């Protein structure tokens, strides 16, 4: 975010326009612009001791995150009656990808670091888009859906051509 602010400012964009584009306050844009002018690239690093001291021990935070991650794992297949399932699946696939490839991989010191990581992931993904393609045989997919449907008392789909 800091680099983007400075690039936009150096291209001649005003502070108010940069703030609006980056979804930050004008004060934030002014702060990073001033720090860069006064101290160069080194002034953009996080200052130590910033922010309030943690009120929860790091070990407890790790324990809670681990428990929450385990409890959110899907252990059963859920059938869908949604007529827009394919479009919904693509959205869910995106969130699954960003979670596994970007969010879970990293260790973030705060929301801004997480946000920067997400923006970087999306930029890279947009720079080299790949279509979502089914790699499984359609017949196999329908058979799996039918097996799950029988267990869940859902409708069974035709599996013969």
- Residues 87-117: pLDDT tens digits? 666 777 778 888 888 877 667 777 788 888 8
| Residues 24, 35 contacting (CB under 8 angstroms) | no
| Residues 34, 8 contacting (CB under 8 angstroms) | no
Q: How large is the average pLDDT for residues 57-81?
A: 64
pLDDT at 26 over 90: yes
pLDDT score, position 74: 46
The model's confidence at residue 150, banded by pLDDT at 50, 70 and 90, is: confident
């Amino acid at each position: 975010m800091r680099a983007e602010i400075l690039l936009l400012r150096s291209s001649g964009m005003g502070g108010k326009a940069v703030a609006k584009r980056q979804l930050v306050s004008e004060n934030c844009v002014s702060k990073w612009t001033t720090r860069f002018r006064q101290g160069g690239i080194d002034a953009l690093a996080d200052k130590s001791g910033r922010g309030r001291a943690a009120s929860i021990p790091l070990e407890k935070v790790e324990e809670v995150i681990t428990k929450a991650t385990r409890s959110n794992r899907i252990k059963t297949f859920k059938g869908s009656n949604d007529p827009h399932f394919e479009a919904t699946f693509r959205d869910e696939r995106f969130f699954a990808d960003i979670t596994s490839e970007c969010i879970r991989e990293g260790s973030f010191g705060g929301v801004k670091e997480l946000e920067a990581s997400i923006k970087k992931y999306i930029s890279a993904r947009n720079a080299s888009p790949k279509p979502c393609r089914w790699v499984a045989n359609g017949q196999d997919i329908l058979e799996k859906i039918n097996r799950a449907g029988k267990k869940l008392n859902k409708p069974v789909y035709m599996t013969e051509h």
